Amino acid sequence: MKILCKIALLAPALAVSAAWLVVLRLKDVAAPLLVAYGLLLLGLAIGLLWPHALGRRSTRTRVLALLGAPAALSTLALYFAVVFYVTDVPVLLGLASAAALAGALVVGLRGRRGTAGATAGRTRRALLLGGAGLALGALSGLSVSRVDRHRRDVLAQGAQELKEAVRAPGARRRGAVGSVRVFPLHTGDTVVTYGQFYGGLDGWEGLTGYTRTLLDKAQIAVPVYAYLIDHPLHGLMMVDTGVSWEQANDHDGYYGHGGMASRLLTERHEYRLTADQDLRVQVARLGYDVKEISTVFLTHVHDDHAGGLRSLPRATVVMDRRDWDEGVLYPYSFDLVKERLSFPAFDSGPLLAFPHSQDHFGDGSVVLLPTPGHSPGHMCVLVRMDGASALFMGDTLYTLPHLAVDEVRQMTIGGADTARQVEAARRVQRLLASATDTVPLFAHDNTRYRHAVASAFSQGRPDAAGLLALRRHMDTVLTPDWRLRPGQAPHFVPSGAGVGEVAFR
């Protein structure tokens, strides 16, 4: 029975240690260091439960001295090196205060036994610990306002940078509304593993794929695009919202709103965004006001697509209910719009390759197409323009080469979700093949196609020549049967700076 009890204690200790090691790997701690640290934790756990396993003369006291102290110091060092954020100061001081007061209580109770000299010594130690606990508690209380002021200063400095970016030379005047205009907005970059982006046919699938994202740190930076739509009948709209300045530049503060777990399970440097890439700045420099944006079509709830929602509290957010109910979302991004959600029924009948669709306004101008797989309720958005249509892909497919879904595939969830995503990709293929006036617009395209898109949509809508250039570019990358042409296969190119590049050859 004693052995079973010890095993019962060892199991949760190992589980907690494993979770902590995963967090540290997410924070990019080197694998060799984690192996050494993990062995130290394992040795400590075994030594405390079975001291003699580490030697005949081993005792728990020796184990604590030889392994416990290094493990504690290593844990503190790793925490402060890769996890600590300024808002932790009051909490850490409060924990230290509680520990000191608890120690004072224990020493004080023990001080009632023994000789007069020993009792006096214990009393002094109890008073010192109690005084330290009270002082640390006072510092914890005082630090709250200081920490809040620090974060306000960070945000105020960011707000000033955004204002200066809005006023920088080169802003446009708002054009006359006469036709549908679409403006691609490059809202920063996200850092991902190369395999997550391009390795779906090389084992990056399901749980295995997610595990590899922890172990494989061959990373690339890919753009995050949102799209502003100026519609003469339906006003100012967006497809996705990208990431915000706060997510990139106050990452720990932004994700701290979800508690310590949200901050621990996100990567501190996962987003890169300059002031002039912020959604609010780009909209203003195009001659618009974010307050005018009345509708956001959210392809899915992932935070690199929904982070900008906090800048659009007046907008109605249209998204598939399955993503709201079952998708992986970060609530803080949705706090200001959660009362303004609209869920399509997809009851407008079939559209080309899609058996279900939603004609959002009832005039065929914006049609929503379900493409589940990447998330439970992922959808694409088809917007009719004068003489052309734009199909907003979200994360159904990351880039133009991903349309060759049998040769290039992003990491998929696995099982039925992978099958759904591949089927969605094939429906997109058939739609693009039959609707030759339609061009795909991607959320993370890091290929030359994005520059062709930026050129074609530089004034908000492609003319006939611009549309033809985009379709011709597609033909240089993909064959009519959706295979990659020679020279278009992606390859990872390592970089000494840590984040690599993608070459096509």
DSSP codes, 368-419? EEE-TTSSTT-EEEEEEETTEEEEE-TTSSSSGGGGSTTT-B--B--HHHHH
| CB distance 168 to 275 below 8 Å | no
Place of tokens 């007061």: 101
The per-residue pLDDT for range 348-379, each reduced to its tens digit, is 999 999 999 999 999 999 999 999 999 999 99
Beta strand 358-359 pairing with 271-272 = unpaired
Q: What is the pLDDT of residue 119?
A: 66
pLDDT higher than threshold 70 for residue 117: no
| CB distance 502 to 408 below 8 Å | no
Q: How far is Cα 412 from Cα 402, in angstroms, rounded to an integer?
A: 13
Q: How far is Cα 116 from Cα 368, in angstroms, rounded to an integer?
A: 83
Average pLDDT over the chain reads 91
Q: Residue 400 burial by CB count (10 A; 0-12/13-18/19+): exposed, middle or buried?
A: buried
| CB distance 253 to 198 below 8 Å | no
Place of tokens 């260091």: 33
How far out from the chain centre does Cα 250 lie?
13
| CB distance 311 to 279 below 8 Å | yes
212-to-4, 26, 36, 204 alpha-carbon distances in Å: 34, 11, 20, 7
Q: How far is Cα 469 from Cα 191, in angstroms, rounded to an integer?
A: 30
Select from 217, 202, 251, 229 the least CA-distant residue to 297.
229
With bands split at pLDDT 50, 70 and 90, how would you rate the model's confidence at 113? low
312 contacts: CB under 8 Å, gap ≥ 6:
238, 241, 290, 293, 296, 336, 337
The tokens describing 18, both together, are: 């494993």
Q: How far is Cα 187 from Cα 274, in angstroms, rounded to an integer?
A: 9
How far out from the chain centre does Cα 102 lie?
40
The per-residue pLDDT for range 241-298, each reduced to its tens digit, is 999 999 999 999 999 888 888 888 888 899 999 999 999 999 999 999 999 999 999 9
Average pLDDT over residues 446-465: 91
Side-chain half-sphere CA neighbours of 101 within 13 A? 12
Strand (E) positions, 171-213?
Answer: 181-193
H helices then E strands: how many in the chain?
18, 14
Q: What is the pLDDT of residue 116?
A: 54
Residue type (1 letter), 263: R
With bands split at pLDDT 50, 70 and 90, how would you rate the model's confidence at 127? confident
The tokens describing 358, both together, are: 């939603």
End-to-end, the C-alpha distance of the chain in Å comes to: 63
Residue type (1 letter), 240: D
CA angle 453, 163, 282 (to 5 degrees): 15
| CB distance 294 to 360 below 8 Å | no
| CB distance 408 to 361 below 8 Å | no
The per-residue pLDDT for range 305-351, each reduced to its tens digit, is 999 999 999 999 999 999 999 999 999 999 999 999 999 999 999 99
The tokens describing 233, both together, are: 């009948």
pTM of the model: 0.91
Side-chain half-sphere CA neighbours of 456 within 13 A? 25
The per-residue pLDDT for range 20-61, each reduced to its tens digit, is 998 998 888 988 999 999 999 998 888 888 877 767 777 888
The per-residue pLDDT for range 219-235, each reduced to its tens digit, is 999 999 999 999 999 99
**Host H or E run for residue 467:** helix 464-477
